[in-house]
């Protein structure tokens, strides 16, 4: 069963959550705001265990009641098979998309209506209460957000709606004002390393991953599993080579290879995912890693010439990121970055 002791580095967030719970001043709506992979979903699941437990003492779920057993059955992150625990993800969009072409990139009104508003208005199954967790809540369309306002105000009975988001400002002011926002911070690098080591990951890999992941344990774990940490090493070498005046086209080729490889991993995990979307996401990730390496080089650069060159490369990467955001196709984005780097040689 998921418990708070499994969450590292979020004492402040958990403290304010439990403080409100103990004082019985928990609103129906909570926003967990913070970077990807720092424990928002795990905290939501751990809190749901406590909230739904039939015999909780202080801050501890009993672990043996019908609710606790249901929460620990099946996959932990999804809240097992508890009938009053609902996790809403963008992937659910496919269930409601009759054309079968959904790319599952947003949470539309029909998903939110059927998966949240409707069950929130019904009685609980086990009787203790209901918990709804909306992952990537910033992907809710404005119509979808409007559709849950009423539920946030007065759901049926003891109900908790937890919106997880990397960007609370992307939520409507009307949604935010009905919820209590609990900030989740990025983790300290040492905390990430320690936690990776505790999970049996080698020291060198753990520190390389912690270096890249900006305080996100979830990203570090995912990147180790997908081989992104090693690929980032290869990418950094290629960035350095491009700065040293070797072919900038090589970097574009490597970005293509790495993005394709990563997209393949995504498709292995989710065979309904769109290949194009997966490739774009992967390319965006590697572009941000390339930008990171360039910023590091800029910080230690010596001489105006070298600095100028690094700045041109940073601009080229930034432009590629903008093109990607503007839905320019992947081949053109890569061609552009190759040309821009070659021109700066």
Q: Which residues bind Zn ion (CB under 5 A)?
A: 53, 61-62, 65, 68
Q: How far is the CB of 6 from Zn ion (least distance, A)?
A: 17
Nearer Cβ to Zn ion (70/285)? 70
Q: At its nearest, how many Å lie between Zn ion and the CB of residue 113?
A: 31
Q: Which is nearer to Zn ion, 57 or 98 (CB)?
A: 57
- Nearest approach, Cβ of 230 to Zn ion (angstroms)? 43
Compute the chain's Rg from CA coordinates: 23
Residue 70 CB, nearest approach to Zn ion (Å):
10
Nearest residue (CB) to Zn ion, 64 versus 143: 64
The least distance separating Zn ion from the CB of residue 123, rounded to whole angstroms, comes to 20
Q: Which is nearer to Zn ion, 52 or 187 (CB)?
A: 52
Shortest separation between residue 43's beta carbon and Zn ion, angstroms:
18
Instruction: For Zn ion, give the closer residue by CB, 68 or 220.
Output: 68
3-state SS record for the chain: CCCHHHCCCCHHHHHHHHHHHHCCCCCCEEEEECCCCCCHHHHHHHHHHHHHCCCCECCECCCCCHHHHHHHCCCHHHCCCCCCEEEECHHHHHHHCCCCCCCCCCECHHHHHHHHHHHHCCCCCCCCCEEEEECCHHHECHHHHHHCHHHHHCCCCCEEEEEEECCHHHCCHHHHCCEEEEECCCCCHHHHHHHHHHCCCCHHHHHHHHHHCCCCHHHHHHHHHHCHHHHHHHHHHHHHHHHCCCCCHHHHHHHHHHHHHHHHHHHHHCCCCCHHHHHHHHHHHHHHHHHHHHHHHHHCCCCHHHHHHHHHHHHHHHHHHHHHHCCCCHHHHHHHHHHHHHHCC
- The nearest distance, CB 69 to Zn ion, in angstroms, is 8
Instruction: State which residue, 65 or 149, has the beta carbon closest to Zn ion.
Output: 65
Pick between residue 53 and residue 213 the one whose CB is nearest to Zn ion.
Answer: 53
């Amino acid at each position: 069963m998921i418990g708070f002791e499994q969450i590292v580095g979020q004492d402040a967030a958990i403290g304010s959550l439990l403080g409100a719970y103990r004082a019985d001043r928990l609103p129906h709506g909570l926003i967990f705001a913070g970077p990807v992979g720092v424990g928002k979903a795990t905290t939501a699941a751990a809190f749901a265990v406590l909230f739904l437990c039939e015999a909780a003492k202080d801050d501890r779920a009993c672990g043996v009641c019908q609710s606790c057993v249901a929460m620990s059955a099946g996959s932990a992150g999804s809240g097992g098979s508890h009938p009053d625990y609902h996790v809403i993800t963008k992937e659910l969009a496919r269930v409601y998309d009759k054309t079968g072409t959904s790319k599952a990139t947003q949470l539309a009104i029909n998903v939110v209506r059927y998966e949240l508003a409707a069950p929130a208005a019904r009685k609980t199954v086990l009787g203790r209460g209901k918990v709804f967790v909306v992952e990537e809540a910033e992907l809710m369309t404005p119509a979808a957000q409007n559709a849950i306002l009423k539920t946030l105000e007065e759901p049926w009975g003891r109900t908790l709606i937890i919106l997880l988001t990397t960007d609370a400002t992307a939520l409507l002011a009307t949604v935010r004002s009905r919820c209590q926002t609990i900030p989740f911070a990025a983790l300290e690098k040492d905390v990430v390393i320690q936690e990776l080591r505790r999970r049996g990951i080698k020291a060198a890999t753990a520190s390389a991953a912690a270096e890249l992941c900006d305080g996100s344990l979830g990203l570090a774990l995912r990147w180790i599993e997908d081989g992104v940490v090693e690929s980032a090493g290869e990418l950094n070498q290629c960035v350095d080579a491009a700065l040293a005046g070797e072919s900038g086209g090589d970097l574009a080729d490597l970005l293509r290879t790495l993005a394709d490889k990563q997209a393949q991993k995504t498709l292995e995990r989710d065979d309904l995912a769109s290949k194009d979307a997966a490739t774009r996401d992967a390319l965006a990730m590697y572009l941000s890693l390339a930008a990171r390496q360039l910023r590091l080089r800029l910080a230690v650069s010596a001489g105006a010439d070298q600095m100028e060159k690094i700045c041109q490369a940073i601009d080229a990467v930034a432009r590629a990121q903008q093109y990607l955001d503007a839905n320019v196709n992947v081949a053109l984005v890569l061609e552009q970055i190759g040309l821009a780097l070659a021109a700066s040689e």
